[in-house]
Amino acid sequence: MDALYLLVPISVLLVFVALWIFFKASDDGQFDDLVGPALRVLQDDDKPPDD
């Protein structure tokens, strides 16, 4: 039972830290364009070498 007095506050703190990191990344624009990089990979910009 004594361990819960330590583990519960630590787990609550970890949840708040994870939420802070997520919202900070969201505010910095980390999740603005999720489709663009995936489509850029599919576009073949490479030209075949001239022989």
pTM of this structure: 0.60
CA 14 to the chain's CA centroid: 16
End-to-end CA distance of the chain: give it in Å, rounded: 76
Please give the Cα distance from 47 to 37 (Å, whole number). Answer: 20
What's the pLDDT score for residue 35? Answer: 83
Residue 37: what pLDDT? 77
Angstrom distance (rounded) from CA 19 to CA 1: 28
Residue 38 above 90 pLDDT? no
Read off the pLDDT band of 51 (50, 70, 90): low
Number of alpha carbons in the 13 Å side-chain half-sphere of residue 18 = 6
